[in-house]
Chains A and B, each alone.
Chain A
Amino acid sequence: MDHFPGTWGRPRNDVYGAYDASYLQTTGPKAHTSSPAVTGTSVVGVKFNGGVAIATDNLASYGSLARFSDVKRLRSFGDNAMVGFGGDVSDMQYLDRLLESMDIRENYSAHGNMLNAKNLHTYLAKVFYKRRSEFNPLWNHVLVAGFDGEGEPFLSSADLLGTTFSAPHLATGFGAHLAVPILRRKFPEEMPLAEVTQEAAVEALKECMKVLFYRDARSIDKYSIAVITKDGIDLKEDEQIQGQSWAFAERIKGYGAQVV
């Protein structure tokens, strides 16, 4: 009879050799997140004359598993700014709490001095850069949409390294490969912003979301879309991709169980 409960249920030393306690080591370097866990995929945004439109789908994946299908990845800040989050969902929730507490702090002494989308973007980029410098990154790639200090439409991205980037249309993740070319075709560089209407921007976003659902295996056909204008934010969080046609899939060969 073994009188030491601590060894009960363990492989016997006399049979299997001494237990390798190095796995239980508590010393050594501190480990931080080195990969995201539950993730959201692309965020897509377009500037138009008088505002910005931004969209994400409503999925949070756990690896390749479509784990949560009703996650809101567009978060509002104040009356005229929106943040779309790609990447780790728990880090998104942390940032959302951070921004909410900042919004409340700002509103205590309003006095007409509200942070605009540009200020918000600068702040977020600094937060990302601080965390990556601590080797403890917030695993996100965000788009910030709204207005800058001059009241012009503003759209800019910030990623987990604190890198910032701005363009009339932007997308994160898979969208950077699949949606941006579509948007560049629809709204070429030489096309002035004044000629891009709100309807055209929203329509383009819907098409991008459809293409992303077709080709991005971490996406879902339910999405959120926000239109930010001077009048405020029009946020729809329960949209469904319309007019799907999978006929093109017939011609795709070389994947899965298909042999010929």
Chain B
Amino acid sequence: MFRNNYDNDAVTFSPQGRIFQVEYAQEAVKQGSVVVGLVNKTHAVLVGLKRNAEELSSYQKKIIEIDSHMAIAIAGLASDARVLSNFMKQQSLGSKMTYGRPIPLDRIVAQIGDRAQTNTQHYGKRPYGVGLLVAGVDEAGPHLFEFQPSGLTHEMVACAIGARSQMARTYLERNLDKFEDCSRDELIQHGLSALKETLSQDKELTIDNTSVGVVGVTNGKKESFKLYEGQETAALLEVLEQRESAGAEGESMEVDS
């Protein structure tokens, strides 16, 4: 609480050249539940772990469809994410209206990046308390972008943000070379495996707390964004279980030989 005198607003630098309000906003992202994104040559996948505020409440949505060619996964303040997603929906619709073209991913990511940056440079404003993974396809193929409250955006092949996301990133780094040429279904499974890594001992992936979103191109034809939630995730989680038990057997067999 008495950290220093330089964190009262987002426009003041500390003598070390840091902007504390922005760093605090990035802490809000770390408090949010984890989301994982990854791409290969044909598809972009988002998976997220949903949280419910209490036993009796519904689960907070983690993946929001922006348009038929892209979606975002959120970690942090969901209400800030709604502001950003509404903006993105408007921009996307605007592009379809004026040019008859789905908006290119890098374009819309640059736009939300610019918006977030202005929040760090105007007195009386505050940074967005949310991090996003933006996944989608455009003329240049599938893409995944990471967006941070600072306004920083990066194109990624795989990424995880949110609570305990380091575990997922470790999985992604270890398996990076398997992604590029794998199939759509395998990519989903890699996403779920990465997500599973982040769970604490007493938790597991269920049809209630798992969200999966996929978008891609198959044989040059665009495949519209598909969100799997609830009962639809059952088949995916079943495959995950089978893979893991097969993987465990594989390991024990290796030990035997």
Please list the residues of chain A having a beta carbon within 8 angstroms of any beta carbon in chain B: 109, 111-115, 118-119, 122-123, 126, 149
| B104, A113: Cβ atoms closer than 8 Å | yes
Q: A112-B138, A113-B138 are in contact. List 18 more A-B contacts (CB 8 A).
A: A109-B106, A109-B107, A111-B104, A111-B106, A111-B139, A111-B140, A112-B141, A113-B106, A113-B107, A113-B139, A114-B139, A115-B99, A119-B100, A122-B99, A122-B101, A123-B98, A126-B98, A149-B101
- A112's partner among B100, B110, B139 (CB-CB below 8 A) is B139
Q: Which 3 A-B pairs give the minimum distances between C-beta atoms?
A: A112-B140, A113-B104, A122-B100
CB distance from A190 to the nearest CB of B (A): 29
Chain B residues within 8 Å of chain A by Cβ, number: 13
- A119's partner among B101, B107, B138 (CB-CB below 8 A) is B101
Bound CA span A111–B104, Å: 9
Which residues of chain A are within 8 angstroms of B100 by Cβ–Cβ distance? 118-119, 122
Bound CA span A72–B100, Å: 28
CB closest chain-B residue, reference A122: B100
Bound CA span A115–B138, Å: 12
Bound CA span A105–B105, Å: 15
CB distance from A257 to the nearest CB of B (A): 54
CB distance from B110 to the nearest CB of A (A): 7
Which residues of chain B are within 8 angstroms of A112 by Cβ–Cβ distance? 138-141
| A109, B110: Cβ atoms closer than 8 Å | yes
Which residues of chain A are within 8 angstroms of B141 by Cβ–Cβ distance? 112
CB closest chain-A residue, reference B140: A112
Interface of A is mostly: loop
Q: List 7 A-B contacts (CB under 8 A).
A: A111-B106, A112-B138, A112-B140, A113-B106, A113-B139, A113-B140, A119-B101
Which residues of chain A are within 8 angstroms of B106 by Cβ–Cβ distance? 109, 111, 113
Bound CA span A149–B98, Å: 15
Bound CA span A119–B97, Å: 10
CB closest chain-B residue, reference A116: B101
| B101, A115: Cβ atoms closer than 8 Å | yes
Per-residue CB proximity of B107-140 to A under 8 Å, as 1/0? 1001000000000000000000000000000111
Bound CA span A112–B217, Å: 15
Bound CA span A119–B110, Å: 21
CB distance from A110 to the nearest CB of B (A): 9
CB distance from A134 to the nearest CB of B (A): 16
Bound CA span A122–B98, Å: 6
Contacts of B122-165 to chain A: CB distance below 8 A: 138-141
Bound CA span A114–B101, Å: 10
Which residues of chain B are within 8 angstroms of A149 by Cβ–Cβ distance? 101
Q: Answer whether A123 and B99 are a contact pair too, CB < 8 Å, given A109-B107, A109-B110.
A: yes
CB closest chain-B residue, reference A114: B139
Bound CA span A112–B110, Å: 16
CB closest chain-B residue, reference A118: B100
Bound CA span A15–B140, Å: 79
CB distance from A102 to the nearest CB of B (A): 10
CB distance from A105 to the nearest CB of B (A): 10
Bound CA span A118–B96, Å: 12
Central interface residue in B100, B110, B138, B139, by most chain A CB within 10 Å: B100
Which residues of chain A are within 8 angstroms of B139 by Cβ–Cβ distance? 111-114
Which residues of chain B are within 8 angstroms of A123 by Cβ–Cβ distance? 98-99
Bound CA span A130–B225, Å: 32
Which residues of chain A are within 8 angstroms of B98 by Cβ–Cβ distance? 122-123, 126
Bound CA span A135–B101, Å: 28
CB closest chain-A residue, reference B100: A122
CB distance from A148 to the nearest CB of B (A): 9
CB closest chain-A residue, reference B143: A111
Which residues of chain B are within 8 angstroms of A114 by Cβ–Cβ distance? 139
Which residues of chain A are within 8 angstroms of B110 by Cβ–Cβ distance? 109
Bound CA span A126–B94, Å: 12
CB closest chain-B residue, reference A121: B100
Which residues of chain A are within 8 angstroms of B101 by Cβ–Cβ distance? 115, 119, 122, 149
Bound CA span A123–B110, Å: 22
CB closest chain-B residue, reference A119: B99
Bound CA span A114–B99, Å: 11
CB distance from B28 to the nearest CB of A (A): 29
Bound CA span A123–B100, Å: 8
Bound CA span A109–B138, Å: 13
Which residues of chain A are within 8 angstroms of B97 by Cβ–Cβ distance? 126
CB closest chain-B residue, reference A120: B99
Which residues of chain A are within 8 angstroms of B107 by Cβ–Cβ distance? 109, 113
Bound CA span A30–B221, Å: 51
Bound CA span A109–B105, Å: 11
CB closest chain-A residue, reference B220: A150
CB distance from B103 to the nearest CB of A (A): 9
Which residues of chain B are within 8 angstroms of A126 by Cβ–Cβ distance? 97-98
